[in-house]
């Protein structure tokens, strides 16, 4: 009996341990493939990534630099999140044609809308080129020289390694500099907007529900890739034709249940899973709280104005959402790291690590790593904090300062590169700034400035502050800046840049707003960044050796995946509920019933469109329902992060069952510390997506393009 219990326990530990991690698609054979099959996968590693035949990877591009998308028809149709298409949808919107509020559907291809600057990138193949990148590096002893040599090798290799003329070679590091992979890619530039539900579906629950389960958001939008006549990337042209992908996903509406296998393919941005305990402690105690406080202040101001004025709401919708997103994530992450005792469990890991080092007789090489980390992270603390205050206050959240910073860089260019470079940049700036002022509201920014400059002056480490921002009267300074600076309107901005170089520089330096950002930037560049960079470089070197040691001293079977770095990855797991706290259990599926439970008529986050209410009342769900209910979202143990938005969620056969868009609040710490008990990714159910396109929008043209898999009898209604 005892033996059986032990066996069962082992089994539980094993299936738990088989989850988490973001793996490289070209390296799944072996350990990952057998884990995936154990979890229920019915296809092979070769079906996911192959250089010889079309594979799932050919249907999963990176969307517009920061998200993921998937091909769902042989005519270039792609699916991604509403929040990934958000900027584009906002750009096409005006108070009269508000596609954010009302949604948008192209009922024929001629109605699709082009998007300037939007890109979609496919990975053609992946190759390990570590030896080539590290050639001539081992003999160098100074870290900065090593980095320089590596950069030189990378740029030489990017040019010399074979590729087609329309492709690109991208080289990225894995395991903190212990491995280098080449990605040959193709980037499409003619991407057209096909459809999106109104925000009351696509962003339902908005910021209140963001990062939260149970969730009821239909977070999707549709675009189409256009290519030239040879099916290759081309700039926008009326003559372009829909792209024919090598592979697209059939969509399964056969139904899901708890413990079903799922996997997610995509481009996770950044994780730091192998930080030492001292660094995690710093995130929890110092860095996150500071960043949260700054954003909290900025968001409160924006929210106040957005609620008062529909025009401001459109202007600030996208900015607000992106600032709020990480603000809320950092709060969840901090909480989760504390609750999971991440610091203590890292400390335990470190103790064992140290023992392994001794056992392997590697003290000379690895014995000092942890002491080095301790020293470096203690030394860097104030610099890191000052850096975050500068970034959050000046570059990220106060618009007059972030636009002023562009002018600061302009002046720097004059000093470093001369007058021609200055004039070129100046002209670029003037052209590019129009969009900025379109969404700029002086009242909002003035109130943000007052709050944030106060925080900067009182909370950022004193020893690095510029003199003019010590002991300030924030209100007085704000009034002064906003009544005198020319950075507050497009016309005065242009005026400021009008004239010969000398005049422009004089005018800039006489401008009150410019003076503030200049003194902040000067102080940062002089007092903070040199030292920060110096210590950070040490940390990079220590982290690389630490990673090397971990890889070397762990058993062959250990599941050590490389941190996310915006490259193509596969993660897998099971559909599963979780227990966020004592006596509470969350089920893994939500339905339209929950949308109606959350419905608050007229509310900016929880309103529901009348048409959706009508469909709900009539239970007019077509073939998309499950046991009479309309599925909306579900969760699983896939290990995802920012950048995985829009990623396809696939079933055991590789069919599309959902669209990844978020993680649960209690599990956002997975960027630093993944726990299979509590970390869950959130997906929109593919059936809800089809239901919205079909029943809500009546876009039969889109439905007809898709390959839908359903063995249930067709329900006519």
Please indicate whether residue 675 is annotated as part of the active site. Answer: no
Nearer to ligand ARG, 281 or 668 (CB): 668
What number of chain residues touch ligand ARG (CB under 6 A)? 12
Task: Count CB atoms within 10 A of the CB of residue 290.
Answer: 19
According to the binding rule CB under 6 A, does residue 157 interact with ligand ARG? no
Q: CA-to-CA distance for 317 and 199, rounded, in angstroms?
A: 11
Q: Binds 324, which of ligand ARG, ligand GLU, none (CB < 5 to 8 A, cut-off by type)?
A: ligand ARG
Residue 210: name its binding partner from ligand GLU, ligand ARG, none (Cβ under 5 to 8 Å by kind). ligand ARG
As measured in angstroms, the least distance from the Cβ of 385 to ligand GLU is: 24
Q: Residue 649: which of 615, 614, 689, 591 has the closest Cα?
A: 689
From 207-215, 300-308, 415-423, 562-570, give the range in contact with ligand ARG by CB under 6 A.
207-215
DSSP states along 354-367: HHHHHHTT-HHHHT
Residue 641 contact, options ligand ARG, ligand GLU, none, Cβ 5-8 Å cut-off depending on partner type? ligand GLU
448 part of the interface to ligand ARG, by CB under 6 A: no
Nearer to ligand GLU, 689 or 708 (CB): 689
Residue corresponding to tokens 């006549």: 229
| Contacting residues for 365 by C-beta, under 8 A, at least 6 apart | 545, 549
Shortest distance (Å) from residue 361 CB to ligand GLU? 41
644 binds, among ligand ARG, ligand GLU, none (CB under 5 to 8 A by kind): ligand GLU
Residue 321's binding partner among ligand GLU, ligand ARG, none (Cβ under 5 to 8 angstroms by kind) is ligand ARG
Choice between 83 and 189, CB closer to ligand ARG: 83
Two tokens, residue 691:
């239901």
Q: 146 or 215: whose CB is closer to ligand GLU?
A: 215
* Closer by beta carbon to ligand GLU, 245 or else 642: 642
Q: Which of residues 362-391 bind ligand ARG (CB under 6 A)?
A: none
Considering CB distances under 5 to 8 angstroms, the limit depending on partner class, which of ligand GLU, ligand ARG, none binds residue 207?
ligand ARG
Q: What is the dihedral of CA 637, 711, 37, 245, to 10 degrees?
A: -80
**For this structure, is 639 an active site residue?**
no
Sign of CA dihedral 658, 659, 662, 663: positive
CB of 564 to ligand GLU, least distance (A): 10
Identified catalytic residue from 58, 176, 209, 219: 219
Q: What is the number of other CB atoms lying within 10 angstroms of the CB of residue 105?
A: 18
Q: Is 629 helix (H, G, I), strand (E, B) or coil?
A: strand
Distances (CA, A) of 485 to 403, 473, 490: 12, 18, 12
Decide: helix, strand or coil at residue 80: strand
Contact assessment for residue 40 and residue 652, using Cβ atoms and an 8 Å cutoff: yes
Residue whose C-beta lies closest to ligand GLU: 645
Return the residue of 211, 220, 389, 422 that touches ligand ARG, per CB under 6 A. Answer: 211
Least Å from the CB of residue 296 to ligand ARG: 14
Residue with smaller CB distance to ligand GLU, 140 or 321: 321
Nearest distance, CB of residue 93 and ligand ARG, angstroms = 17
58 binds ligand ARG (CB under 6 A): no
Neighbours of 378 (CB within 10 A): 12
Peptide bond into 272 cis (omega under 30): no
Provide the pairing of β-strand 251-252 with 708-709. parallel
The number of CA neighbours under 13 Å toward the Cβ of 243 is 33
Distance CA 425, CA 431 (A): 10
For position 615 contacting ligand ARG by CB under 6 A, the verdict is no
Give kind and range of the element (H or E) at residue 439: none
Q: Does residue number 64 form part of the binding site for ligand ARG (CB under 6 A)?
A: no
What does the per-residue mask of binding to ligand ARG show for 662-691, with x meaning CB under 6 A? Answer: x-----------------------------
Choose, from 83, 92, 454, 639, the residue flagged as catalytic. Answer: 83
Q: Is 642 in the site for ligand ARG (CB under 6 A)?
A: yes
Which residue in the list 645, 647, 670, 675 is annotated as catalytic? 645
Nearer to ligand GLU, 453 or 683 (CB): 683
Interacting residues toward ligand GLU by CB under 6 A: 67, 640-645, 661-663
Minimum CB separation from ligand GLU for residue 106, in Å? 24
Pick from ligand GLU, ligand ARG, none: which does 422 bind, CB < 5 to 8 A by kind? none
Q: Which residues of 696-709 are buried (b: 16+ CB within 10 A; e: fewer)?
A: bbebebbeebbebb
Report which DSSP code applies to 122.
E
Nearer to ligand GLU, 218 or 643 (CB): 643
- Which member of 645, 660, 670, 675 binds ligand ARG (CB under 6 A)? 645
CB of 641 to ligand GLU, least distance (A): 5
Task: At 102, list the tokens.
Answer: 């009302």
Place of tokens 């259990």: 585
Say which residues have a Cβ less than 8 Å from residue 513's Cβ, sequence separation at least 6. Answer: 400, 401, 404, 481, 484, 485, 486, 487, 488
Nearer to ligand GLU, 212 or 448 (CB): 212
> Is the CB of 383 or the CB of 661 nearer to ligand GLU?
661
Contact of residue 451 among ligand GLU, ligand ARG, none (CB under 5-8 Å per partner type): none
H-helix or E-strand containing 110? none
| 293-352 residues near ligand ARG, rule: CB under 6 A | 321, 324-325
* Whether 19 contacts 637, CB under 8 Å: yes
Q: Does 703 bind ligand ARG (CB under 6 A)?
A: no
**Who contacts 336 (Cβ-Cβ below 8 Å, separation ≥6)?**
342, 665, 666, 667, 668, 669, 673, 678
Alpha helices in 234-362 (DSSP H): 277-282, 288-308, 310-339, 342-359
The site partner of 82 among ligand GLU, ligand ARG, none (C-beta below 5 to 8 Å per kind) is none
Active site residue 521: no
221 class by beta-carbon count within 10 Å (0-12 exposed, 13-18 middle, 19+ buried): buried
Strands (E), 345-424: none
Nearest approach in angstroms of CB 162 to ligand GLU is 32
Q: Which residues contact residue 298 at a Cβ distance below 8 angstroms, ignoring those fewer than 6 apart?
A: 323, 397, 398, 448, 451, 452
Q: Which is nearer to ligand GLU, 69 or 225 (CB)?
A: 69
Task: Show which residues are catalytic.
Answer: 83, 219, 645
Residues that bind ligand ARG (CB under 6 A): 83, 206-207, 210-211, 321, 324-325, 642, 645, 661-662
């Amino acid at each position: 009996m005892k033996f059986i219990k032990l066996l069962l326990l082992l089994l539980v530990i094993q299936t738990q341990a088989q989850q988490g991690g973001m793996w490289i698609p070209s390296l799944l054979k072996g350990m990952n493939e057998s884990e995936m099959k154990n979890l229920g996968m019915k296809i092979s590693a070769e079906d996911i990534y192959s250089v010889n035949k079309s594979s799932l990877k050919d249907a999963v591009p990176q969307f517009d630099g920061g998200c993921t998308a998937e091909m769902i028809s042989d005519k270039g149709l792609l699916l991604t999140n509403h929040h990934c298409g958000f900027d584009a949808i906002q750009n096409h919107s005006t108070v009269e044609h508000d596609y954010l509020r009302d949604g948008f559907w192209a009922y024929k291809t001629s109605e699709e809308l082009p998007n300037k600057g939007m890109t979609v990138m496919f990975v053609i193949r992946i190759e390990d080129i570590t030896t080539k990148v590290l050639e001539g590096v081992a003999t160098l002893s100074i870290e900065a020289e090593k980095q320089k040599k590596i950069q030189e090798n990378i740029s030489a290799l990017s040019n010399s390694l074979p590729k087609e003329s329309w492709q690109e070679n991208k080289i990225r590091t894995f395991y903190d500099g212990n491995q280098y992979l080449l990605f040959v890619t193709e980037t499409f530039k003619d991407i057209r907007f096909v459809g999106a539900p109104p925000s009351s579906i696509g962003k339902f629950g908005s910021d209140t529900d963001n990062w939260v389960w149970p969730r009821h958001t239909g977070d999707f939008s549709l675009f189409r890739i256009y290519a030239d006549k040879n099916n290759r990337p081309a700039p926008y042209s009326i003559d372009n034709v829909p792209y024919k992908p090598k592979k697209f996903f059939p969509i399964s509406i056969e139904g899901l249940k708890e413990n079903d296998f799922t996997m997610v393919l995509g481009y996770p941005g950044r994780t730091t899973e192998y930080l030492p305990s001292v660094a995690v402690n710093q995130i929890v105690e110092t860095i996150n709280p500071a960043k949260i406080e700054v954003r909290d202040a900025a968001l409160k101001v924006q929210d106040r104005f957005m609620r008062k004025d529909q025009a401001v709401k459109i202007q600030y919708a996208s900015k607000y959402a992106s600032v709020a997103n990480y603000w809320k994530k950092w709060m969840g992450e901090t909480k989760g790291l504390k609750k999971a005792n991440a610091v203590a469990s890292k400390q335990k890991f470190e103790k064992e690590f140290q023992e392994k080092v001794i056992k392997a007789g590697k003290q000379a090489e690895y014995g000092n790593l942890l002491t080095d980390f301790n020293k470096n992270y203690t030394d860097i603390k104030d610099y890191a904090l000052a850096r975050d205050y500068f970034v959050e206050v000046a570059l990220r959240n106060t618009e007059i300062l972030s636009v002023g910073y562009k002018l600061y860089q302009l002046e720097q260019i004059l000093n470093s590169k001369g007058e021609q470079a200055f004039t070129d940049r100046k002209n670029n700036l003037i052209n590019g700034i129009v969009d900025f002022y379109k969404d700029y509201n002086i009242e909002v920014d003035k109130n943000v400035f007052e709050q944030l400059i106060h925080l900067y002056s009182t909370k950022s480490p004193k020893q690095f502050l510029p003199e003019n921002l010590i002991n300030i009267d924030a209100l007085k300074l704000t009034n002064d800046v906003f009544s005198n600076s020319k950075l507050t309107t497009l016309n005065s901005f242009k005026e400021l840049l009008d004239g010969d170089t000398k005049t422009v520089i004089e005018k800039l330096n006489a401008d009150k707003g410019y003076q503030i950002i200049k003194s902040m930037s000067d102080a940062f560049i002089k007092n903070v960044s040199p030292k920060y960079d110096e210590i950070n470089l040490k940390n990079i070197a220590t982290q690389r050796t630490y990673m090397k040691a971990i890889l070397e001293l762990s058993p062959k079977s250990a599941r050590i995946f490389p941190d996310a770095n915006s490259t193509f990855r596969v993660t897998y797991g099971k559909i599963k509920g979780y227990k966020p706290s004592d006596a509470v259990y969350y089920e893994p599926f939500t339905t339209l019933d929950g949308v109606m439970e959350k419905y608050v008529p007229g509310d900016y986050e929880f309103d529901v469109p009348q048409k959706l209410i009508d469909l709900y009342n009539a239970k007019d769900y077509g073939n998309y329902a499950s046991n009479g209910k309309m599925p909306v979202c579900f969760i699983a143990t896939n290990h995802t992060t920012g950048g995985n938005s829009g990623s396809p969620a696939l079933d055991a056969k590789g069919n599309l069952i959902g669209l990844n868009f978020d993680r649960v609040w209690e599990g956002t710490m997975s960027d630093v510390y993944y726990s299979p008990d509590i970390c869950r990714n959130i997906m929109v159910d593919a059936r809800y997506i089809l239901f919205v396109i079909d029943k809500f929008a009546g876009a039969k043209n889109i439905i007809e393009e898709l390959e839908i898999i359903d063995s249930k009898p067709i329900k006519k209604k």
